[in-house]
Structure 1
């Protein structure tokens, strides 16, 4: 499947929500990593952040928005190809 010139449409309100969540997470994680590097935070801060800021829920929502858009735009065969590519990712705790 040629993915270089394909476009997928995402409703603007959902795209904005995802961008807001991702921006919040990226900036916060950057700050957290900086604090870890300077010794002003310890490793437990990562777990606290993940739980208190609902990181899993926000990332799962972003994935869902993109998955729905892909399902709407791609054929079943193409979606299976995307699924196979996703299975090739690096997963914490695997192996």
Structure 2
């Protein structure tokens, strides 16, 4: 499947919510990494961030928004191909 010229639409309110969450995570994780480098944060601090900010649930929602858009706008065959590509990702704890 040629993905370079394809477009998938996401409702603007959902796209903005996804962007807000991703922005919060990127900025916060960058700050945490800087604090770790300075010695003022440790792995526990990162774990607290993940728990307190409900990162797992919010990232799952981001994935859901994108998946729904793909599922509704692409064929079953195309979605299966994308699923296979996602399974090839790098996962913590593998290997």
State the TM bucket, normalised to the shorter chain.
over 0.9
Alpha-carbon offset, residue 43 of structure 1: 1.5
Equivalent position of 1:89 in the other structure: 89
Alpha-carbon offset, residue 91 of structure 1: 0.6
How many residues of Structure 1 are paired with residues of Structure 2 in the alignment? 95
Equivalent position of 1:28 in the other structure: 28
TM-score under structure 1 normalisation?
Answer: 0.98
Aligned mates of 1:94, 1:14 — CA distance in 2? 32
Matched, 1:2 2:2: yes
Q: Which aligned segments of 4 or more residues in structure 1 are displaced greater than 4 angstroms?
A: none
Task: Give the unaligned 5+ runs of structure 2.
Answer: none
Aligned mates of 1:71, 1:42 — CA distance in 2? 40
Aligned mates of 2:10, 2:43 — CA distance in 1? 36
CA RMSD of aligned residues (A): 0.6
Task: Give the unaligned 5+ runs of structure 1.
Answer: none
Aligned mates of 1:55, 1:43 — CA distance in 2? 15
Equivalent position of 1:79 in the other structure: 79
Alpha-carbon offset, residue 71 of structure 1: 0.5
Alpha-carbon offset, residue 12 of structure 1: 0.4
